[in-house]
Amino acid sequence: MPKKSIFPKDVKEKLKEKFRVLKRKIVLDVFTKKGTNDQFNQFSIQICKELAKLTDKIEVELHEISERYKITRSPTILIDPKNYQIRYTGAPAGEEGRSFIQAIIMASTDNSLLSESSKERISTLKKRHHIQVFVNPACPYCPQQAIYAISAAIDRKDISAEIVETFENQDLAQKYNITSVPQTIIDGKEVAIGLQSEDKFVAGLLGLSLEEVRVKEAKEAIETDVVIIGAGPAGLTAAIYAVRSGLKSVVLEKAGIGGQVTITPIVENYPGFTRIAGKVLMEMIAQHAMKYTFIHQGEEAIEIRPNHPFEIVTTRGRYLAKAVILATGATHRRLNVPGEQRLYGRGVSYCTTCDGYFYKGKRVIMVGGGNSAVTEALHLDSIGARVTLVHRRDSLRAEKRLQESLFSRKVPILWNSQIKEILGEEVVSAVKIESIKEGAVKEYPIEGVFISIGYEPSNLLAKKMGLELDKNGYIKVDRHQRTSIPGIYAAGDITGRVKQIVTAVGEGATAALAVFEGLSSPYWIT
């Protein structure tokens, strides 16, 4: 019986279109060892063969593990090994399929995805480097970090890039105490936990500060009607509506496209979808937005000068815009207890989608009582973690349906309790939890702490501009999403309103339409 194809028919057609840019024929060398990760070996062989059927620019060669390329792990895939040092140690499954396909394109076209300024910086390196990026198939942030490493290996042939799948290589992950992904190791030393901006990645590779690698302010500016800062639900929707209104737009995103939604395991309250993974929903919205506008991923806005037009200074250059929409979102709120920062990435995490699978069969706690905390506690329970929910109050704030799911699964809950300290030397080993009513503090042996206690606004740009903020630091807006400075709009979580995907989308659309109306008939001129 023939194997089921990895790629649906529509995806194959999209890949064929994508592979039209391939220039040079490349070889994918697949190394496997029978009896070691057999399921992943078969997947690696199948995905490479299926990709080769879509274009004559890909050739697949199968090998048993060999010392020739110092291959000791199964499966291992080398991409164009005669020209580059790029390897996948482990199957490129799930999210990592995206970076794998992009790596093939970069190798065949001999062109990386780094900006020209980053390429210029990397050209100054004086010695060889080996970059390892540890990933897992469920992590939506991992592919972009992998692409940075692979891009560096494309630009400098004396740089080797290795993308390591942690589940298939647990001994290697344990060697570096990997309990959070993506995690980047350069020449055997940890340089980053989590997805970096392109500038931070290059700075880490060069051993420089972030300020030293940032581009000097560009002399020539790009002119556009509206600059949208942030590529979450609000920013992407604003881009769609702006362009459909006839406005030229640019979207700037310093990190990953999709915002917080990409790490939401399951979304059940977005109209039209009774149940959909957050990352899948955001991929659909992002693909829609890309049909209308450019999304400059890895480009951070560092200053907005309130001239006419507005001048937006970024890590890559300058833009002149008639209006600006701030959709910068919010970041995870910290507990601010001893041990939290020190053990981040060593058992402390804010993302169950990224890191939950490390804790299958292990004792973990989920801190929080809202929708996000309960959703993530359910996710941890579903993947086999021994999760306990810790909440400050005697009742949950989460939606009734989520609470019912939590109670039906009999997930233990410590009511009226708060974390006082997270303990551990190299990794989390215990937590101190205080009973709010009794004041007693008890130590619990634990291996992981997941935190979801709300968000803090990403308001640095707003503060620099002097926008009016509320007492919690969120940008004040009117019903048209207009801020205290004419021509500056805000949408999504940064406004501090109801934190739902559907409201962020609505605010993004409202802001874009308000920009169109404002430019047609300026509301600030009476």
Q: Is residue 413 part of a domain?
A: yes
Distance CA 208, CA 73 (A): 33
In sequence order, what are the residues at sequence separation of 6 or more whose Cβ sits closer than 8 angstroms to the Cβ of residue 405?
374, 378
Residues of the chain with pLDDT > 90, as a percent, come to: 86
Residues 178 and 190 both lie in one domain: yes
Q: What pLDDT, in 10s, does the model give residues 446-475? A: 999 999 999 999 999 999 999 999 999 999
pLDDT category at 265 given cuts 50, 70, 90 is confident
- Helices (H) then strands (E): counts for the chain: 15, 25
CB 238 within 8 A of CB 508: yes
Pick from 216-220, 251-255, 380-384: least confident: 216-220
One-letter amino acid at 507 equals E
Average pLDDT of the residues in 313-324: 94
Three-state secondary structure call for residue 99: helix
Of the two residues 461 and 315, the one the predictor is more confident about is 461
Distance, in Å, from the CA atom of 95 to the CA atom of 116, rounded to the nearest integer, reads 27
Q: What is the mean pLDDT of residues 173-201?
A: 93
Has residue 313 been placed in a domain?
yes
Pairing of strands 129-135, 183-186: antiparallel
355 has catalytic annotation: yes
Residue 341 lies in a domain: no
- Provide mean pLDDT across the span 302-320: 93
- Phi and psi torsions of 158, nearest 5°: -90, 5
pLDDT band for position 1 (cuts 50, 70, 90): very low
* One domain for residues 198 and 248: no
Domain-located, residue 342: no
Q: What is the pLDDT of residue 512?
A: 98
Tokens of 73: 């792990």
User: According to the model, what pLDDT value does residue 217 have?
Assistant: 60
Contact 9/50 with Cβ under 8 angstroms?
A: no
Closest by Cα among 121, 262, 273, 135 to 192: 135
Could you confirm whether 48 is annotated as catalytic?
no
What 3-state DSSP class applies to 62?
Answer: strand
Q: Are residues 63 and 147 in the same domain?
A: yes
User: What per-residue confidence (pLDDT) applies to 524?
Assistant: 64
pLDDT digits (tens, 9 = 90+) for 475-523: 999 999 999 999 999 999 999 998 899 999 999 999 999 999 999 888 7
351 is catalytic: yes
Q: Are 266 and 372 in contact (CB under 8 A)?
A: no
Same domain, 161 and 303: no
Query: N- to C-terminal Cα distance for the chain?
Result: 74
Instruction: Tell me: do 426 and 463 sit in the same domain.
Output: no
**pLDDT above 70 for 98:** yes
Per-residue confidence at 264, pLDDT binned at 50, 70, 90?
Answer: confident
Q: How many domains does the chain have?
A: 3
268 in the same domain as 150: no
Whether 20 and 144 share a structural domain: yes
Q: Which two tokens stand for residue 35?
A: 């009896």
Residues 14 and 62 in one domain: yes
Same-domain status, 255 and 132? no
User: Domain limits at 121?
Assistant: 9-213
Q: What is the CATH number of the domain that holds 231?
A: 3.50.50.60
User: Percent of the chain at pLDDT above 70?
Assistant: 98
The answer to whether residue 154 sits within a structural domain is yes
Report the candidate in 262, 299, 256 with the shortest Cα–Cα distance to residue 284: 262
Quote the tokens at residue 121: 């910086």
pLDDT in tens, 237-255: 999 999 999 999 999 999 8
Name the residue among 424, 360, 370 with its Cα closest to residue 393.
370
Do 446 and 504 fall within a single domain?
no
Backbone angles phi, psi at 408, to 5 degrees: -65, -30
For residue 192, the Cα-to-chain-centroid distance in whole angstroms is 14
Name the more confident of 67 and 272.
Answer: 272
DSSP 215-249: PPPPSS-EEEEEEEE--SHHHHHHHHHHHHTT--E
What's the rounded Cα separation, in Å, for the pair 509 and 465?
23
pLDDT over threshold 90, residue 220: no
Tell me the CATH number at 13: 3.40.30.80
Sorted by sequence, the CB contacts under 8 Å of residue 55 that are 6+ apart come out as: 16, 19, 22
Please tell me whether residues 399 and 500 are part of one structural domain.
Answer: no
Is the peptide bond between 75 and the residue preceding it cis, with omega within 30 degrees of 0? yes
Are 368 and 450 in contact by the 8 Å Cβ rule? The answer is no
- Domain end point (choices 414, 429, 451): 451
Please choose, from the candidates 18, 22, 43, the residue with its C-alpha nearest in 3D space to the C-alpha of residue 32. 43
Q: Is residue 85 part of a domain?
A: yes
Cα–Cα distances in angstroms (integers) from residue 282 to residues 162, 234, 290, 375, in the given order: 28, 11, 12, 18
Rounded to two decimals, what is the model's pTM?
0.86
Which residue among the candidates 351, 394, 470, 493 is catalytic per the annotation?
351
Q: Could you tell me if residue 339 is inside a domain?
A: no
DSSP state of 210: H
Query: Which of the following is catalytic: 29, 155, 199, 355?
Result: 355
Supply 289's token pair.
Answer: 């937005």
Reported as a pLDDT band with limits 50, 70 and 90, residue 70 is: confident
Domain contains 338: no
How confident is the prediction for the chain on average, in pLDDT?
A: 94
Pull the structure tokens for residue 354: 């990224």
Q: What is the pLDDT of residues 393-452, one digit of tens each?
A: 999 999 999 999 999 999 999 999 999 999 999 999 999 999 999 999 999 999 999 999
Q: List the catalytic residue out of 139, 142, 354, 381.
A: 354
pLDDT at 487: 96
Last residue within a domain, chosen from 396, 427, 451: 451
- My answer on whether 436 and 514 are in the same domain is no
In the DSSP assignment, the letter for residue 497 is S
How high is the pLDDT of residue 215?
64
Per the listing, tokens 């501090």 go with: 496
Listed residues 187, 213, 239: the one ending a domain = 213
Report the SS3 class of residue 370.
coil
